[in-house]
Structure 1
């Protein structure tokens, strides 16, 4: 008799958020035996790319003196390289060197704030921004610190960690799984009954983890063989004198983006590809962002604050994904 396959679950904490794995395994095998390995993968990413840990590879680079080269671990180098490629392709609308502005506005390790920073401090931080100032040496996995550059990989590291956990599960002989890290997700294979992994995209305004009804979901998508990342303005923000400031900072202006986009969801083959696209789409806004997505065949869904409430805009690639 063929061993029975069942869906097993595991979860934990990482990067200030939560992770979960659902995996199809034979009943006599236990996903619990893989938890230590999954956690080790996530700890590896956090230990290399956290701006909250002074001992991380990224923090050591950020604190390095001007004119120095630094060898990065392979994983960190891969993420930095991808982030800089997105920055180049978007003409700096996405920029991983935005860290000084993220910290200044109270969304980084320096702690929260209750009022916007001064114009002078914003301009001083902007002097340190610029992806083009960095140099990569692929032969040695080295990154050049020109002086004052502070990388923030929070918009891509979680997505990368999802991919890395997927690779770990593949290596462990687990062929069907759904991985989530802080809202970034990726699925592979099918459930025991042959159905695909399906997830609902939360409508902005529902409490985290509290979606109970279908009308709190915007769309339901199949994640078999693809990843999704969702960025929203409704989780990390602060208000001062009647103005709400989002954690999404436009590196070109030094200020949070206007409160037009409620959320953006991006589908891609890898979570590392989808994750920074959510940030980029939010910075570009619905019109420029949708044009960017259509030009490149990206699967993007905007939920925006319209005159009559929340409105959805789907790129052709996203609509095609819903139909598949």
Structure 2
């Protein structure tokens, strides 16, 4: 399961060579802020395409916020969360696509990823109501936990309609950022740009190559949280028609000796406490990599490894070792096959 230390470069299989770089093209860069974080795009193209994308990328990102942000009172998700039970709401095309993937991955993971934990996320201080410094009352956790559950949602994919049969509150923060990366990448492709690297808040998707013919190399995030752990050898990934997303426990609050992570286990209603540090997933879709990484964090080291192997996910799973002081990690066979 674990690659040798000297195998530090991951190269995905290439089904088709990217189009040739047009003569006169050069590296262009754009950046900005969105979803409480930053975005950047590097691509090989002309000055004219730079001006076009300077307008189109923010429009694409604004669509994601307008449809999926729980912080926007009039977003489609926020309006859905105020609907009476059993009332259908029509979904925009992008939101319909995300909900279909969210519910599929919820089913695959046995609810380890669940898009209906919005009220619990907010209760624990990681949503629109703002942060908190102490855990919420157990009876409040139990009450909101009873109302959530992805099986309470009915999605009519053909008509792009959604309804709920219990007061589950949708939160797509574990998948929407990855989708936004995909949407920007698809916007580039629609404009004939086949050589680019898109990044939003540390999640990336690449296609083609740089102007010099080299791949878009990115490093897998492997933070050292424990002082006794040695710095791990870097793993570089060639992002050609590939995306990468990492979920971790870096956000949260501390009460006494316990650290409460922002990642909520939908099966318990409380933050994960399973020794997980980070889960990184490589996938053709950044949206799916995003949601799968969240599911792996919730599942815990052993179940996450089994799930990733069963679903042929290229993943790096990092967790606290048995001694409580070191960091252990597992590389799944699908990722190991990329390493050279």
Q: In structure 2, which of residues 292, 308, 320 is the aligned counterpart of residue 305 of structure 1?
A: 320
Q: In structure 2, which of residues 281, 291, 297 is the aligned counterpart of residue 266 of structure 1?
A: 281
Q: CA deviation at 1:12?
A: 0.5
TM-score, L = length of structure 1: 0.92
- Please say if residues 135 and 143 of structure 1, whose CA atoms lie closer than 8 Å, have aligned partners that are also in contact: yes
Q: In structure 2, which of residues 287, 291, 295 is the aligned counterpart of residue 280 of structure 1?
A: 295
Bigger relative contact order, structure 1 or 2 (CA pairs below 8 A, ≥6 apart): 2
Q: In structure 1, which of residues 35, 49, 56 is the aligned counterpart of residue 68 of structure 2?
A: 49
**Alignment partner, residue 145 of structure 1:** 164
Q: CA deviation at 1:259?
A: 5.3
TM-score, L = length of structure 2: 0.88
- Please say if residues 102 and 175 of structure 2, whose CA atoms lie closer than 8 Å, have aligned partners that are also in contact: yes
Matches of 1:296 and 1:61, distance apart in 2: 31
**Alignment partner, residue 226 of structure 1:** 242
- Please say if residues 231 and 265 of structure 1, whose CA atoms lie closer than 8 Å, have aligned partners that are also in contact: yes
Matches of 2:88 and 2:220, distance apart in 1: 42
**Alignment partner, residue 132 of structure 1:** 151
Matches of 1:133 and 1:84, distance apart in 2: 11
**Alignment partner, residue 35 of structure 2:** 15
**Alignment partner, residue 6 of structure 1:** 26
**Alignment partner, residue 8 of structure 2:** none
RMSD over aligned Cα, in angstroms?
A: 1.6
- Please say if residues 201 and 217 of structure 1, whose CA atoms lie closer than 8 Å, have aligned partners that are also in contact: no
- What are the ranges of 5 or more consecutive residues in structure 1 without an aligned counterpart? 207-214
Runs of 4+ aligned residues of structure 1 deviating over 6 Å after TM superposition are none
Matches of 2:139 and 2:44, distance apart in 1: 55
Mapping of residues 44-193 of structure 1, within 5 Å: 44-193=63-212
Equivalenced residue count is 312
- Please say if residues 148 and 166 of structure 2, whose CA atoms lie closer than 8 Å, have aligned partners that are also in contact: no
Q: CA deviation at 1:216?
A: 7.5
**Alignment partner, residue 15 of structure 2:** none
Matches of 1:279 and 1:250, distance apart in 2: 10
Q: CA deviation at 1:175?
A: 1.1
- What are the ranges of 5 or more consecutive residues in structure 2 without an aligned counterpart? 1-21, 226-230
- Please say if residues 89 and 163 of structure 2, whose CA atoms lie closer than 8 Å, have aligned partners that are also in contact: yes
**Alignment partner, residue 211 of structure 1:** none
